[in-house]
């Protein structure tokens, strides 16, 4: 597709017999866009960022839009599969890391 992606954005819900990508696809959200982020037209569980000015804020806003719509229309609470990091938050010290 030419953009950057973190892979599957959401976990498959255990209460559903179909995967998250299929749920999002069947809701007609392939190609949905928020700023520089777009639901991949190839696999609907991928959020792709496009362009040199792509930002995580757009991807997260689109992800929240997907979560809210799936919850409202399907009654399914999607969980993130990606691990969210915040650049402005202090790093947690790994207790197993050597000093």
What is the distance between the terminal CA atoms of the chain, rounded to a whole angstrom? 42
Between CA 46 and CA 7 the distance in angstroms is 6
Residue 63 is predicted with a pLDDT of 95
| Predicted structure pTM score | 0.78
Q: Per-residue pLDDT for 85 more than 60?
A: yes
CATH fold label, 4-74? 3.90.78
Q: Per-residue pLDDT for 99 more than 90?
A: no
Q: Per-residue pLDDT for 24 more than 80?
A: yes
For the chain, the structural domain boundaries read 4-74
Q: Per-residue pLDDT for 2 more than 70?
A: no
pLDDT tier at 6, thresholds 50, 70, 90 = confident
């Amino acid at each position: 597709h030419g953009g950057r992606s973190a892979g599957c954005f959401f976990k498959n819900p255990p209460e559903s017999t179909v995967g998250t990508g299929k749920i999002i696809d069947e809701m007609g959200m392939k190609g949905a866009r928020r700023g520089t982020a777009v639901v991949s037209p190839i696999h609907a569980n991928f959020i792709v960022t496009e362009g040199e000015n792509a930002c995580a804020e757009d991807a997260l806003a689109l992800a929240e839009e997907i979560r809210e719509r799936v919850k409202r229309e399907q009654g399914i609470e999607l969980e993130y599969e990606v691990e969210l990091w915040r650049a402005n938050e202090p790093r947690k010290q790994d207790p197993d890391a050597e000093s």
